[in-house]
A and B are shown apart, each in its own frame.
Chain A
Amino acid sequence: MEKKRNDMKGMPVTTRELTLSFGPQHPSAHGVLHLLVDIQGETVLRAEPDIGYLHRGTEKIAENLFYHQFVPYTDRLDYMCGMSNNLAYVLAVEKLLDIEVPERAQYIRVIAAELSRLSGHLVCIGAWGVDLGAMSMLLYAIRDREMVLDLFEMLCGARMTYSYLRIGGVRYDATEEFKKKCLALCRILPEKIEEYEKLLTGNRIWIKRNRGVGAISGEDAIEIGLGGPNLRASGVNWDMRKDEPYLVYDRLNFDVPLGTDGDCFDRYMVRIEEMRQSIRIIEQCVRDMPEGPFNVDMPEIVPPPKHEIYQNMEALIHHFKYVSHGFKVPEGEVYCAIEAPKGELGFYIKSDGSERPYRLKIRAPSFCNLQAMDTLSRGEYLADVVAIVSSLDPVFGECDK
């Protein structure tokens, strides 16, 4: 942790220490990050994130909603990858209910989660590029993210706030055309990733701005609570898709890319490689997806399809009960975490046996990653703070809850 790359000792001090307010209104602040940076000349002495500008009390809201009503709120946590948030929440509730969704739904969920990882990483790298002066990277990344969003639109009609995953399955089936478009994406995107690499990986400026910047060892990364790609960039082999497999990840072939130095450049490379692995996963899921139902057969948890409601009295009653009364969930407490694009996204739910969670706690990866900001930026230049923020990839919908 004692890394003084730009040690001031022994040098004549010609400047005085001052505190700089970075954000919350700053183009490189990734939303509403307010950093209080103490600097001596160009060197950062301390960096204290001041968060909470986007706090909406999501956990309090959850305590006052039915279980199924809370799904749309999870979209608005990490709004760059809403599907992952949906997934973590519905898995937690399903763990409480002790139900397993049909195979087909599991495959669709994996596709949705991996697509959202793609869209999350694309935005991360694009924003990172523009923060360090590579404007074209942002344009390319956003252009290609459009393909992913088109797929989401095919799947559920929404492009950003999906609420696609529901407790007990998914909202709509994945059509043949969706599968075809998925495979097309898997063909096109690898070329685009090559392109990003041509733009950035060998780029002298990119290397200068990222290599050796904000480096952290694996041990320190664990101690400070880094997660996801940021942890793996430090060489810690921890990916919940491999180590605590959920859904059908244990049947899929993919690698977990690891870094060695734990600097910004490694965090970038891990994300690039993860996108390639996500494409592999999507390809396998499209290939292996079985036919069958995409919801559990429990009318009190999954209401019947809309067209049946007009025809069938039973279906109408189930629908009415679902909307107006919700459903009861057995008493108990669970913690369920998934490997979201930013790290471990976990939901702790305490149920008192009623239709509403007694307590719901979101373990937001952005929040935990941001805590490392101070450790990572001490001793670096002020300009590097921008690179470090981008490499942590915080999203404030999630960080501030």
Chain B
Amino acid sequence: MVKSSKELFIQRLRERFGTALLDAVGFRDELTCTVRKDSIVEVCRFVKEDPAFDMKFLSDILGVDYPDEVPRFEVIYHLLSITKRTRLRLKIRVEDGESVPTVTGVWKSANWHEREVYDMFGIVFTGHPNLKRIYLPDDWEGFPLRKDYPLRGYKDDYNPYGEEKE
């Protein structure tokens, strides 16, 4: 990504969303924009439709858990513009128990990615057409990629090496 496109991105986002753009960081030629949680759908629709961004391809959605911080979770969107050959990372912060508006209305492919985030972190996406676990069985307890979930899981009949549940 050339430097100018990065600055242009920040400028256009700032013009359009003002204070909803909380932070913009460049690191190793990647641009990360943190936006307010409530405006994520709007921002996503904007970067998809705006010709300067043209982020038609949703590459990935993922969660990160920071148990000691408030808000606790990060949800990260990796976007790609095939025509402009640029990438953008959008980020929102979510507190435990809060929900996130879904972006399935913007990109159809967000469906499975959001299900995966829900499966692994327990973050609920409101408006999602089919929000259920994707990897784990429906009756699984807990969310494995949270930092307080033990590496070997919890002890039960099938998992004698797991940790005792309190």
B56 within 8 A of A: yes
B53 to chain A, nearest CB (A): 14
A-binding residues in B (CB < 8 A): 27-28, 30, 32, 56-60, 62, 64-65, 76, 78, 82, 85, 87, 89, 107-109, 111-112, 120, 133-137, 144-145, 149, 151
Tell whether, in the assembled complex, residue B62 and residue A361 are in contact, meaning their CB atoms are under 8 Å apart. Answer: yes
Tell whether, in the assembled complex, residue A222 and residue B82 are in contact, meaning their CB atoms are under 8 Å apart. Answer: yes
Tell whether, in the assembled complex, residue A337 and residue B59 are in contact, meaning their CB atoms are under 8 Å apart. Answer: yes
**Interface CB pairs A-B, < 8 A, 21:** A52-B136, A55-B136, A59-B120, A60-B144, A64-B151, A222-B56, A223-B107, A225-B58, A225-B109, A236-B82, A332-B27, A332-B28, A334-B30, A335-B30, A335-B60, A335-B87, A348-B62, A358-B64, A363-B59, A371-B109, A371-B112
The size of the chain A interface, using a CB distance under 8 A, is 37
With A224-B109, A344-B59 in contact, do A400 and B135 touch (Cβ < 8 Å)? Answer: yes
With A51-B135, A363-B59 in contact, do A98 and B28 touch (Cβ < 8 Å)? Answer: yes
CB < 8 Å: which of A64, A96, A238 contacts B28? A96
With A222-B82, A225-B107, A334-B30 in contact, do A361 and B135 touch (Cβ < 8 Å)? Answer: no
Tell whether, in the assembled complex, residue A361 and residue B82 are in contact, meaning their CB atoms are under 8 Å apart. Answer: no
Tell whether, in the assembled complex, residue A359 and residue B64 are in contact, meaning their CB atoms are under 8 Å apart. Answer: yes
CB < 8 Å: which of B58, B76, B144 contacts A348? B76
CA distance in complex: A111, B108 (Å):
36
| B80 nearest CB neighbor, chain A only | A344
A350 within 8 A of B: yes
CA distance in complex: A344, B87 (Å):
13
B8 to chain A, nearest CB (A): 19
Tell whether, in the assembled complex, residue B82 and residue A346 are in contact, meaning their CB atoms are under 8 Å apart. Answer: no
| B89 nearest CB neighbor, chain A only | A335
A95 within 8 A of B: yes
Using an 8 Å CB-CB cutoff, how does the interface string of A367-401 with B read, 1 for contact, 0 for none?
11001000000000000000000000000000011
Tell whether, in the assembled complex, residue B64 and residue A223 are in contact, meaning their CB atoms are under 8 Å apart. Answer: no
Using an 8 Å CB-CB cutoff, how does the interface string of A86-127 with B read, 1 for contact, 0 for none?
000000000110100000000000000000000000000000
Contacts of B82 in A (CB 8 A): 222, 236, 238, 243
Given contacts A222-B82, A400-B135, 20 further A-B contacts (CB under 8 A): A51-B135, A98-B28, A223-B56, A224-B108, A225-B107, A225-B108, A236-B82, A243-B85, A332-B27, A332-B28, A333-B27, A333-B30, A334-B30, A335-B89, A346-B59, A348-B62, A348-B78, A358-B64, A363-B78, A371-B112
Contacts of A361 in B (CB 8 A): 60, 62
A57 within 8 A of B: yes
Tell whether, in the assembled complex, residue B109 and residue A350 are in contact, meaning their CB atoms are under 8 Å apart. Answer: no
A62 to chain B, nearest CB (A): 10
Contacts of B134 in A (CB 8 A): 51-52
Contacts of A371 in B (CB 8 A): 109, 111-112
With A223-B109, A332-B28, A334-B28 in contact, do A59 and B59 touch (Cβ < 8 Å)? Answer: no
B72 to chain A, nearest CB (A): 13
A17 within 8 A of B: no
With A52-B134, A346-B78 in contact, do A222 and B60 touch (Cβ < 8 Å)? Answer: no
A153 within 8 A of B: no
Chain A CB within 10 Å — which of B65, B109, B136 has the most?
B109
